[in-house]
Every structure is written in C-alpha cells, then in structure tokens.
Amino acid sequence: MPYCVGLQSAANAFLSAGFATQFTLSVVIFLVVVLVTSSLQTNEADAPTSLPCYSLFTILPFFRRRYDFLNWGFHATGQSVFQFQLLRNTVVAVSGESARQAFFNAKGLDLTEGFKILSGAIPMVRGVTSNLETRRIAIIHKRLAAVQRNAPLNDLIPLILDDSRRIMETWGPSGKFDPFDSIYALLFQTTLRSLSCSEISDDPAIVGRLKTLYDKLDHGTTPATVLVPWLPTPAMIKKLWATKEIYQIVCGAIRAREQSGISRNDTLQMLLDSGDEKLVVVGFIMGLLIAGARATGTTASWMMTFLGGHPEWRAKAAAEVESLLLAANPDTKLSSSSSSESLSSQLSTIPLEVWESETPVLDAIIKETTRVAQPHTAMRRNLGPPVYIDGKMIPTGAYVVYPFSDVHLDPSIYPDPWAFNPGRAEVKHTPFAYVGWGGGKTLCLGTRLAKLELKLIAAMFVLGFRQLSVIDKDGNPTSPQPNWNDILLCRPPPEKTGYLSYERSDVPL
C-alpha cells in the first residue's frame, strides 16, 4: 500500500504518547498554522466583499453549521458574493439567479479539486482516491457509466430487491426504528451490492465492518483533518487507520476473486475484465461507495420519513407500484398472504424501462425529497483564468461554493419551501431552479443507479408495510424537519428525531 513509511512511524510515536501530550501538541501546531496563514486577504477593487470578522472564526462555523454560516455571510455583507479564508484557501460563496447560472456554467470551475480540499470525508489514498491522474479519473467515470447500462442495471434489480427483503425481514412484524440508522444501513448494503462484489456484499460481517469504518471517516472529519491533513491529530490518526483497513478489505476481495478463478456477474468482474490497473479498481470501489451510499442513503432515509408522515402520498405510490405489478403479472393477486411468490420476486419481474419511464409518482417523491432534504453545498475550484460572477472576480486557485438551499428553499420559487409536497408544479421560469442531481456541465454520474435503488426500496416499503406513522421518542406523532446544518444526513437533532412506527402487511416480503 502506498503509505509513507515516515508517516507511519510518526503516527505510531504519536499514538504511543499520552492523550494530554497528543492534544496539546495538536492544538499548538494547529493554532500556529492558523495564525500564520489565516490573515491573507485580497484587496482588489473588484474582489468579493470579505466577511466582517477575523478569518480564524470562519473555520468552525463553515464545517459545523454551514447552512447558518453561509446565510449569515450573505446577510452580514449584504452581497450575493462574499469571500473568507480557510487558512491559505480563499473561498467565495455565491447566491442568486445570475450567480447560480454563472457557477454551473463556468468552464474553469472544477468539482474534483473543490471537494478534495473542502470535503475531506472521502478515504484518501494517494494515487487511488486522491491525486489521481486525469486518465484514471476518466477511466473511473467510464466504468461508472458501464455499471449503469441497461443490462447491468436489469441484472441488479432482483439482487437489490432480495437484499431489501432480507434486511426488512430483520425488522420483525411490527415495531419502530430510526430511519437514519435502519434505512441508511439498507442503502449501504444495496450500494455495496451495486458497486463492489459478491465477496463483500454477500458477507454481513464485512458489510457491517465497512459501514463502521466509513462512519469513522464521516465522524472523524474535522476542520483540522480537512485543512491540515498532515497534522497528526487523534482524529487524523483514526481516519488513517480506518482508511487502511478499508483498503485492505477491498484488496482482499480482489485477491480472493483472482485466486478463485471464478467469473461472477458483478462490478468487480467488469473492472477486472476491462483490464484496469489495480489502483483504478480499488479507487473505484473505495471512492464511489461512500459517495453513493452517503447521498442516496440520506435521500432514502428522508423519503421513508416523509412517506411515513404523508399517508396520501404513500397511497399514491402504492397504487402506482401495484399497477406496474398488475401489468407485469396479470394473474397474480398481490393482496393474498398465501401467495407462493414474495413481493420482492414479483417486483423483480417489472422491467428496468418501466421503473424508469412509468413511475411519475415515485419520480415526484424523489425529486421533492432531494429538494427539501439534501443539504448539499456545491464546491468547485477555479482552475482556469479569473472568472467574474455578479461583477466580482474569482481568482485562479480560489474555491467557490454554492449552497443548494439558496434555490431549493427560496420561498419565491417554492412557496412554503420546508413543506414536503411532491405535487408542486414544475418550475419553468427560473434557470437551474432544481439542482438535486447537479446542473450545467457537472451532473451526478450515478443518478441512474441511485434513482433505481430509491424506487425499488420505496416499492418494497409502501407495499410491504402498513400502519406507518412518524413518532418521537415518547411515541407521540411528530413531523421532523430536515437540518441543513448536518452536511451528511440532514438529520434533525436528537431531541427532534422522528422514528418510523410500522406493521408488516399481509404480503410476504
């Protein structure tokens, strides 16, 4: 594995020291870096207005309460474009219709470079998931497109449904669960199934271990691990070892496949048959797994929450799926508890093209969920010449961020924006009024797979369960609101979390 020997030695020495020494050393080094680098500001006349506070105080709010912080920045400066410093990094935040169009259409604004510095939750292995050559990035994108061709997606449908059945059966005939635990875990499994291999996705112990390790990456992402990743903080060391273990699990699965000599119909086999070098194969699985599971898991968790709290839309979704089943299986009675066919096996007979083109209700539910409960801030880095947005110059090398809340929660575009209403009329008079899957030259490359996963799981959910409701920890009805300051799951704070109460329907899963 391409780990630096010196870094491992330093890490071992650091871990062997007491916690007090670790903490003190980390804080001292971090503060020195901040004080030396955070005062750099641009003073050009056409530069964006800077925030009215010392740049040291922008670091924690940007990472811990980003939604509130960016809203405050636009209010405090009175501008649609403002800038601030994250150590040596100049970050420009933009808002408004004209800025949004410029942001999504600008050729020099690069997504990969933007997330590399400002996100930090992707497992970073040099040459595998970071510091990739342009050629390797292009290959990974090409392979992701191959996974989403008609034949592979058709083959995935029964596998995703069977994974869903197996996990939903563990919930029991009735009870309650936290969707941000149970639904998220389900999407992690189906994403593993779709983007890795049977050696991993067929083993619940490995799946559980990988989820724990990726959770460590998420929760171990701090301002220090993002801005000064070379600083040996306890969080950085934990992320290093979690990344190393993920790498070893993926490499172990590849090795097992190669040694078995057995060809299987999954993504790993496609990557190996394509003759890709090992770095590309490992990078594909490690990087795309967390990117896909996190975003799709957030959407799924909120979609089930909304369906639990909106029986009218749950009924519409159920009716839509039942009509698809009737068309595919005219002689089968879904309501019969004595049916020899399970719900998952019946749903697997519906062709891919039907799931994609004949589900307007599910499409509307997914779109509304990503509008109101997907806490994205698009991040780019200007790799081209200076570009102007709303008359303000974005210099080469600067980072540019656009919060999706600027348009998705704008009451002038979406009346009562926090309300879940899939029946909203499509907004046609405003450019880029919906950017749930990206916009302009940068669209989510895994959209097709993500939408299929969401539709299949929703179908199992609305037909396999009844008496659904959303309750608080004391069992009282509640309507949790997405928390856009939680940049991973949009999850409400613990005291406002909603649980899904359910009973299994008569239809066997």
Binding residues for heme: 444
433: three-class secondary structure by DSSP? coil
> In terms of Cα–Cα distance, which of 44, 34, 131, 47 is closest to 88?
34
Specify binding-site residues: 444
Instruction: Give the residues across from 82 on adjacent strands.
Output: 49, 93
Give the separation between CA 363 and CA 356, rounded to whole angstroms: 9
What are the DSSP E strand ranges found in 281-366? none
Q: Please give the helix or strand (H or E) that residue 93 lies within, else none.
A: strand 89-94
Residue type, 235: A
Angle between helices 278-309 and 311-328 (to 10 degrees): 120
Burial (CB < 10 A; 0-12, 13-18, 19+), residue 248, is: exposed
Please tell me the distance from the alpha carbon of residue 449 to that of residue 194, in angstroms, as a whole number.
Answer: 8
The torsion angles phi and psi of 51, rounded to 5 degrees, stand at -60, 145
* Cα 143 to Cα 466: distance, rounded to the nearest angstrom: 39
Q: How far apart are CA 339 and CA 168, in angstroms?
A: 19
Distance (Å, whole) CA 305 – CA 486: 17
C-beta separation of 251 from 132 below 8 A? no
Instruction: Give the C-alpha separation, 14 to 244, whole Å.
Output: 17
Both tokens assigned to 20: 């007090």
Strand locations in 66-210 (E) = 81-86, 89-94, 109-110, 174-177
> Can you tell me whether residue 469 is helix, strand or coil?
strand
- Sequence-separated (6 or more) residues with CB below 8 Å from residue 205: none
